[in-house]
Chain A
Amino acid sequence: MLSRASGITVKTASRVSPALLARRCYQVPTGTRKVLPIYPPVDPTPSVKNATLLKNLSSIDLKEKLDKDGWRFKLIDKHNKDCIKVGDVIRVIYNKEKCSYDNFVGYILSVDRKEQVQDASVLLRNQVSKVMVEVRVPLFSPLVERVDMLKKADGSRKRNKHYYIRGTKLDVGNLESKLRKKK
């Protein structure tokens, strides 16, 4: 059936109504049968030997050496409702046998989780005697004996990383004196 719409002659399927053809449609229905080419499946990439070796080694390392009791993983496990979050105030207590560092209290600016679980670290910020100090603590380090949660974040601050508070009125003050005042 040939249409005379706007002077263009087009061979269309017999079931297409002249009313449809009279409209200004940009997709003209075909009259011929369309053949879709089917390609054979792509060759699957050859499997890498020992692809999960690093992952297996890291999980063995965690279970046997770094995180025997599993509390460190619980700190950063997102599925745990008591995990450490950005905006919490935390005290890191170091292992007295391994090092003689003082406890460090800090506001969490970011919790960095990496591909290997044991690479996770936390960035703490505090104002120690009028000097701003930022410490990045690798949570799975054997030097870290314990992590105490001093104050939970109220969740009013946005963003996953609180770097934006640096140098503004939202910035951290002397956390230790603030906590003492509260008591």
Chain B
Amino acid sequence: MIFLKTMLKVIDNSGAQMAECIKVIGKGSPKSPGRIGDRIVCVIQKSKPLSQTITGTVNTNRVKKGDIVHAIIVRTKQKNNYRSNGFNVNFGDNACVLINKNTGEPLGTRIMVNDGVVGRELMDKGFNKICSLASKVV
């Protein structure tokens, strides 16, 4: 259940590490919270320090603390979101992947291998690029 003030882990290489949700697009109240696959607006609370030599990233896409960005929720702790096939999956933390506000493309080029588990709901909602970057889709 992601809504205002929820802290999410950022699992791509855009530079951000923790993001705080400030709005769930299309929803927002605790009665209709953000779930896997929803688009949110968030503020970067913690980010990796910008340095000259970082591999695998485009310098223009690096985000820093305080930036307002859009993101897609990829993992939730919510325990009662049953899928249509009867299965139920919940993760140990809430995580998101930052995306471009206008185009909807992911800002980072890779998803961290150590933390790269995403929910299968993303495939059903059409986020094929994120799913292909992820190390595992559960």
Contact = CB atoms under 8 A, between A and B. Distances in A.
Interaction A to B:
yes
Interface in B101-138: 113-117, 120, 135-138
B26 interface: no
B21 to A, nearest CB: 19
Query: Chain B: interface residue count, which band?
Result: 20 to 34
B86 A138 contact: yes
A131 B75 CA distance: 10
Interface string A108-145: 00000000000000000000111111111110010100
A104 B138 contact: yes
A138 B93 CA distance: 23
A102 interface: yes
Given A141-B85, A141-B86, A143-B85, A135 B138 contact: yes
B113 A133 contact: no
A172 B138 CA distance: 17
B90 A131 contact: no
Given A141-B86, A143-B85, A129 B113 contact: yes
A131 B89 contact: no
B117 A129 contact: yes
Interface of A: 99, 101-102, 104, 128-138, 141, 143
The 10 closest A-B pairs by CB, nearest first: A132-B92, A136-B88, A138-B86, A131-B117, A130-B114, A135-B89, A128-B117, A134-B90, A141-B86, A133-B138
Interface of B: 75, 79, 85-93, 113-117, 120, 135-138
